[in-house]
Amino acid sequence: MTRTTGDRPLLSTGGTRVADSDNSGLSPVVVVTGASKGIGAELARQLARQGARLVLAARDGEALERVAAQCREAGGSAIAVRADVTKERDCLAIMAGAHLAFGRIDVLVNNAGATMWSRFEDVADLGVYERIMQVNYLGAVYCTSHALPLLRESRGLIVGIASLTALVGVPTRTGYAASKHAMRGFFDSLRIELAESGVGVTMVYPGFVATGIRENASGPDGKPIRVSPVKESEVMPVEDCAARIVRAIHRREREVVMTARGKMGLWLKLVAPGLVDRIARRAIERGR
């Protein structure tokens, strides 16, 4: 059974084009943060193929323009807004750009993220904890705050791209798991506050997805580790992850727990939490 959030379908299901968001003949306006690469870029391309009007945000302006061009070629409309989500004024600028270009926001996807890969006792630069919390948690809070007036008007949808580390503990990821747990607490609480507003909240919990995120993961010295410890060819392809998110947006699903291991872990945690700890440790040791 699909659990849904909010009270109406936002986008069409089953068809190849995104349905009208407001009976104006125009497609929904979707803001995607962290759209310059990885899951955000692929999500933007897939939504563009369905005709969405996209507002793409990230720090790397050139990469963002390339993704915007791919989206236009795929049949969508797209604007690129260079922004650092750790700066509240940049998050305001993203939403102002959306309003200026399209006059509305139907979906906000809080996807921008950064990670780490180091045991806590090896971390020499504790600034890693601050930076990860600023991007993953506060960035989502700022964007959501500045998008909410427009989302209320459209009775739209907020999507939070968290991680299985929002649901269970994972070694080498203390700061990352903390930031994703924070996202989960924030959005699960906000969903209740917005229950009467028509604005839905969808939380997404992916497992390992093949992107470049781990090469840029902060190591013990706070610098990128450069070589991924994960067997990237054996984990979920980014196309599959993005397709699952598109489906969740169409259905306004309450949450998406990706991978059988993730779903099983949720139940096992209630009855055998020590076993879940061992599964998490093994996943990190095996790199998949």
Ligand X SMILES: NC(=O)c1ccc[n+]([C@@H]2O[C@H](COP(=O)([O-])OP(=O)(O)OC[C@H]3O[C@@H](n4cnc5c(N)ncnc54)[C@H](OP(=O)(O)O)[C@@H]3O)[C@@H](O)[C@H]2O)c1
Q: Which residues are catalytic?
A: 176
Determine the size of the site formed for ligand X (CB under 6 A): 31
Q: How far is the CB of 37 from ligand X (least distance, A)?
A: 4
Distance CA 173, CA 183 (A): 15
62 to 101: interface string for ligand X, x by CB under 6 A = -x-------------------xxxx---------------
Residue of 4, 19, 26, 60 interacting with ligand X (CB under 6 A): 60
Residue 172 found at the interface with ligand X (CB under 6 A): no
Q: How far is the CB of 195 from ligand X (least distance, A)?
A: 25
Residue 206 found at the interface with ligand X (CB under 6 A): yes
Q: Is the Cβ of residue 58 or residue 98 nearer to ligand X in the bound state?
A: 58
Q: How far is the CB of 133 from ligand X (least distance, A)?
A: 12
The single residue listed with the structure tokens 């093994």 is 282
Segments in 104-166 forming alpha helices (H): 127-132, 139-154
Segment lying near ligand X (by CB under 6 A), choices 97-105, 113-121, 151-159, 273-281: 113-121
Q: Parallel, antiparallel, or unpaired: how do β-strands 157-161 and 200-205 relate?
A: parallel
Q: Is the Cβ of residue 155 or residue 162 nearer to ligand X in the bound state?
A: 162
Measured distance between the N- and C-terminal CA atoms of the chain, rounded to whole angstroms: 28
Residue of 11, 30, 161, 249 interacting with ligand X (CB under 6 A): 161
Residue of 6, 28, 34, 76 interacting with ligand X (CB under 6 A): 34
Which residues, 124 to 153, sit near ligand X by CB under 6 A? 135
Distance CA 247, CA 132 (A): 28
Q: Taking Cα atoms as reference points, which of 115, 108, 114, 178 lies closest to residue 143?
A: 108
Contact between 67 and 79 under an 8 Å Cβ cutoff? The reply is no
Residue 211 found at the interface with ligand X (CB under 6 A): yes
Neighbours of 38 (CB within 10 A): 22
Contact between 68 and 78 under an 8 Å Cβ cutoff? The reply is yes
Q: How far is the CB of 8 from ligand X (least distance, A)?
A: 27
Residue 248 found at the interface with ligand X (CB under 6 A): no
Q: Taking Cα atoms as reference points, which of 276, 95, 243, 272 lies closest to residue 177?
A: 276
Q: Where are the beta strands (DSSP E) in the chain?
A: 29-33, 53-58, 77-82, 107-110, 157-161, 200-205, 255-257
Residue 40 found at the interface with ligand X (CB under 6 A): yes
Residues that bind ligand X (CB under 6 A): 33-40, 58-60, 63, 83-86, 111-115, 135, 161, 163, 206, 208-209, 211-213, 216
